């Protein structure tokens, strides 16, 4: 336990000194406020820009608060995930490549404590960022579009945070298994590629870990498939545990590959 506390402290200090815990939440806040503000003032922006054909009219669909939160989630699912993956995909592999890890491996060390400390700090930064992004989005959504049912929103947020923790487990596990470039490529293929694939054929699949974000958004509606939601939640939880175990195993296996 003492090793874990020391490693956690080290990772937290590194995140603070590199300003990850500051600039990543700021990115999510900007992503969160962009959709409610842009959609609300889109017609005014078009009129201000001018040069529209005479007689041109555009009828904007009436958006609900759930639609705006879904749009913000789409931003998190694209730009937000890429930022998180790019930030944490080298958290273990980069230390092995530049020789920093030798300072840890010269003494007996728990590979479980090593992996969990890096994963938990990555989750902490990611969770703070997502909560900040949704808080910004929710503020302008309620201000411009109307109220949101808090119980539904909290359920949606909790489910989406599980998805974020899964993505961080995949990212750190790939970092433990491969060099940074390979880890980044595989993680983006699995996460972003899987998300795109699910959006294309998702209507034919009811159970998939990539459906967890859409399952989270379904909680904002009074009508959702409870059985499919529980199955997707259980599958994602199982994968989360699998990638944690895989990451710990790969930390131990690849310790000897550390550059000196």
pLDDT in tens, 118-165: 999 999 999 999 999 999 999 999 999 989 999 999 999 999 999 999
In tens, the pLDDT along 59-103 reads 667 888 999 999 999 999 999 999 999 999 988 877 777 656 555
- Which whole number is the average pLDDT over 217-246? 90
In tens, the pLDDT along 174-194 reads 988 888 788 888 898 888 888
Is residue 29 very low, low, confident or very high in pLDDT (cuts 50, 70, 90)? Answer: very high
* Residue 2 CB partners (closer than 8 Å, separation 6+): none
259: pLDDT strictly greater than 60:
no
């Amino acid at each position: 336990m003492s090793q874990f506390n020391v490693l956690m402290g080290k990772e937290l200090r590194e995140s603070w000194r590199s300003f990850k815990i500051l600039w990543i939440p700021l990115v999510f806040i900007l992503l969160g406020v962009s959709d409610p503000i842009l959609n609300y003032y889109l017609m005014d922006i078009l009129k201000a820009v001018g040069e529209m054909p005479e007689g041109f009219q555009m009828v904007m669909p009436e958006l609900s608060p759930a639609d705006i939160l879904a749009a913000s989630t789409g931003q998190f699912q694209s730009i937000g995930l890429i930022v998180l993956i790019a930030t944490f995909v080298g958290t273990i592999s980069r230390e092995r490549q530049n020789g920093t890890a030798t300072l840890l491996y010269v003494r007996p060390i728990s590979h479980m404590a090593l992996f969990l400390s890096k994963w938990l700090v990555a989750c902490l930064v990611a969770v703070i960022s997502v909560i900040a992004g949704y808080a910004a989005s929710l503020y302008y959504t309620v201000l411009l579009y109307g109220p949101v049912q808090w119980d539904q929103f909290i359920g949606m947020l909790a489910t989406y945070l599980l998805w974020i923790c899964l993505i961080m487990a995949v990212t750190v596990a790939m970092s433990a298994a491969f060099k940074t470039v390979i880890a980044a490529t595989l993680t983006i293929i699995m996460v972003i590629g899987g998300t795109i694939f699910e959006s294309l054929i998702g209507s034919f699949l009811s159970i998939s870990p990539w459906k967890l974000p859409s399952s989270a958004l379904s909680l904002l509606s009074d009508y959702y498939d409870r059985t499919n939601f529980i199955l997707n939640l259980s599958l994602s939880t199982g994968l989360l545990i699998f990638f944690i175990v895989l990451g710990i195993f790969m930390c131990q296996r690849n310790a000897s590959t550390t550059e000196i």
